[in-house]
A = this chain, B = another copy of it.
Amino acid sequence: MTRRQPAPPEQSQRRIEEMTEALRQAGQRITPQRLAVLKILAGSSEHPSVERIYEQVVREFPTTSLATVYKTLTLLKSLDQVLELGFAHWGSRYDGKTPHPHPHAVCLICGAIADPELPHVEEMAQEMARRSGYRIDRHQLDFFGLCPDCRKKA
């Protein structure tokens, strides 16, 4: 018997469990729709948009509404289980694999998003706190340009 849905890699599996656990601990229900959203978040490194997540959920649950996806994302955000990359002009993108704030590179042509580890991020946040007098709780560090593919083509 062949598996129709490939089993999620264990790292993704672990994230799914973390997220469901976080929902449970917050007294939230694990509905099929939520589970679907959450699997997509745990399984994709593309930093999907709401629309993209919605497309995939609808395949499994055709009656799903966009609002449900938004609500689930809002819920997961409030539990720090997904990182929202909020952009002013292109709509938000979501990172469910690494939900704590970290820097991203965004391609201005194709919208690809990369997030290599960068050193000295926390130092910079602390330096900002010190110099501004603000208490810093989170950050969003976005670097915009062209991804390797689009550089070739451009």
Chain A interface (Cβ < 8 Å from any Cβ of B): 84, 86-89, 91-92, 103, 105, 107-108, 114, 116-121, 124-125, 127-129, 131-148, 151
Contact = CB atoms under 8 A, between A and B. Distances in A.
Given A86-B89, A128-B103, A141-B142, A135 B120 contact: no
Q: What copy number does this chain have within its complex?
A: 2
| Listed residue (A138, A144, A148) with the most chain B CB atoms within 10 angstroms of its CB | A144
Contacts of A127: 118-119
A144 to B, nearest CB: 5
Nearest to A128: B143
Given A134-B151, A136-B143, 9 more contacts: A84-B88, A103-B128, A118-B124, A118-B128, A118-B131, A120-B120, A124-B124, A134-B147, A141-B142
